[in-house]
Amino acid sequence: MSEKLLSCLQASGLAAALPENEANKVAAELDEITGQQVYSRSITAADKAVFFLARDGEIKSLGLISADAGLHRKFVGSIAEVVLDKQTLLLTLAETSSANAAALRSILPFLNPTTLGLKKSAGCGDRLGLATPGHIRAIRHSTMAPILAQQSIRENARTGRTPQQVMDEALWGIFQEGWREGFGADADHLKNTADIDSCAAAGFTFYTIDPGEHVDNEANTAPVDVLKTKIAALDWAALETSWEATQAALGGKIDLGSFSVTISKEDLLRSAAKYGRVVAHTVKMYRHLETVMNSKPFELEMSVDETETVTTLAEHIYIAHELKRLGVRWVSLAPRYVGDFEKGVDYIGDLAEFETSFTQHLAVSKTFGPYKLSLHSGSDKFSVYPIASRVAGELVHLKTAGTSYLEALRAIGKVNPSLFRDIVAFAKERYPIDRASYHVSAQVEKMQNVDELPNDKLTTLLDDFHAREILHVTFGSVLHHAEFREPFFATLRQHEGVYYDMLETHFGKHFAPFDEAAAAKA
């Protein structure tokens, strides 16, 4: 046994992570002891024990070496004696189960999610439960604070996962990579209190409330007499105010720091009619969340991005003023911005108009917060990132999800061309149905023909606008299809390094503009 492994087994408390060269040497020793391939970054010494993650084929196992029999009994696995340097120790190899994840989380504090506060941050959604190591490898080169467990209830339903599975699979990726710099866990797009309960039970720390179904989109263009009827019908008891009081509070000049605005009576009517029910629902969700979390720290994001109409400056002011008046505390908010944030493709719209609008929205966030402006459907919006970073600085949150699935398809296209071709053909058939709940504009007839591409050019299909959206929104159908699910996951597990490399490169492109803008200001 090497001196380094011996010192790891003698460490008190949580020892510092091993330098790369030393970790590789210890991993080689653990390879011989276990007969498996040990991930060197996972090696963690704590309280005279060594924890690690090992791989045998496609199966990963938690490893533990220690003389403490009581410690081993915390995990469900196979226990054997090993003699190292004339010492008889115990070796446990345990499956990566939820119970073992909970036990490991209780021992290694860096595996517990935390709140991120007002640091610029990035949500790295992972619909497969395999992407976290690649996300971390990109984050290591960035100044963004990561959310590494993130999935919406809608996506859980389509992938057959639970909030606990999302949390646990992120944990194993974090452990594999030895990430100790902190991370958030986003229970995304929650619509009711039952969603909150299941995500709180799984340990999430960041809650994105989606009150989109309470938005009255008709108020965007309705005549004034109709707006007055809508105002009269609002649940003013739930809002704990009256229309008269609302007018008194927001009817005058609003100072936003670098400029001020005066909200007209009609604009205020429109704002309250459109978003009054949104405010009431968000307050209800927030207060339930406070009760469920029972003094445990959490962060709230409110999102109205998936709606038909743009959130105006007056409407943003109304939302922020009312939430603050009602005692809601939130860390970020996602308005419906000008232009189009379609899934998996770059921003569609006038960038100068976006910058002007985004700057105004930021003034609202600074006045009523501060809180971050959140970029939902933020994947692949490369033309927007420099603007958002330059304007908002730290007060920005980037949310991604489906782009990691697209990179999985890119990896499959490289190493399993026949499977990729079959998935593409199936996705084209499913797209007319699956697009219904997404804001996309791709057309099947305009998609590049995969049959015209040789195997070594297949991955270029992932650079085609129409193909990206078609493949993006059909993920649930693909993952539920018996013909695809098993080979899909088996291919990625067998070639995980290819997938990680693609994720690191792709997410590096996402994060770099935020780091470059920060460096330019320094």
pLDDT tens column, 375-389 = 999 999 999 999 999
- Domains along the sequence of the chain with CATH: 3-108 (no CATH), 111-212+295-401+510-521 (3.20.20.70), 404-503 (no CATH)
State yes or no: pLDDT of 258 exceeds 70.
yes
What's the pLDDT at 268? 98
Q: What is the mean pLDDT of residues 158-166?
A: 95
Q: Is 325 in contact with 333 (CB distance < 8 Å)?
A: no
pTM comes to 0.97
Provide the mean pLDDT of the chain.
96
* Residue 85 annotated in active site: no
The answer to whether the Cα torsion of 348, 352, 358, 364 is positive or negative is negative
Which is nearest to 132 in space by CA: 35, 37, 60, 209? Answer: 60
**CA Rg value for the chain:** 25
Tokens of 132: 């976290």
What's the pLDDT at 306? 83
State yes or no: pLDDT of 521 exceeds 70.
no
State yes or no: pLDDT of 283 exceeds 80.
yes
Q: What is the mean pLDDT of residues 109-116?
A: 98
Q: Is 111 in contact with 132 (CB distance < 8 Å)?
A: no
What's the pLDDT at 519? 66
* 225-262 burial code (b ≥16 CB/10 A, e <16): eebeebbeebebeebebebeebeeebeeebebeeeebe
Q: Is 470 left (phi over 0), alpha (psi -120 to 50) or beta?
A: alpha
33-81 pLDDT, tens digit per residue, is 999 999 999 999 999 999 999 999 999 999 999 999 999 999 999 999 9
State yes or no: pLDDT of 204 exceeds 80.
yes
What's the pLDDT at 522? 58
What's the pLDDT at 85? 85
* 318-354 burial code (b ≥16 CB/10 A, e <16): bbbbbbebbebebbbbbbbbbbebbbbbebeeeeeeb
Give the list of residues 6+ apart from residue 437 with CB closer than 8 angstroms, or none. 154
Amino acid occupying residue 45: A
**Rounded Cα distance, 159 and 164, in Å:** 13
State yes or no: pLDDT of 484 exceeds 90.
yes
What's the pLDDT at 3? 84
* Residue 504 annotated in active site: no
513 pLDDT tier (thresholds 50, 70, 90): very high
State yes or no: pLDDT of 28 exceeds 80.
yes
> What DSSP state is assigned to residue 142?
S
What's the pLDDT at 252? 87
Q: Is 118 in contact with 485 (CB distance < 8 Å)?
A: no
What's the pLDDT at 517? 66
State yes or no: pLDDT of 218 exceeds 90.
yes
* 400-424 burial code (b ≥16 CB/10 A, e <16): bbbbbbbbbbbbbbbebbebbbbbb
Q: Quote the Cα angle for 414-420-424, to 5°.
A: 135
Set 188, 322, 342, 434: catalytic member: 188
Q: Is 380 in contact with 403 (CB distance < 8 Å)?
A: yes
What's the pLDDT at 1? 60
Task: Say what percent of the chain tops pLDDT 90.
Answer: 95
Work out the number of other CB atoms within 10 angstroms of the CB of residue 188.
30
Set 195, 301, 342, 496: catalytic member: 301
Backbone angles phi, psi at 83, to 5 degrees: -105, 120
- C-alpha torsion angle, residues 505, 510, 513, 519 (rounded to 10): -70
Q: What is the mean pLDDT of residues 252-267?
A: 96
State yes or no: pLDDT of 520 exceeds 90.
no
Residue 469 CA, chain-centre distance (Å), reads 19
**Rounded Cα distance, 164 and 170, in Å:** 10
Q: What is the mean pLDDT of residues 498-516?
A: 97
395-450 pLDDT, tens digit per residue, is 999 999 999 999 999 999 999 999 999 999 999 999 999 999 888 999 999 999 99
86 pLDDT tier (thresholds 50, 70, 90): confident
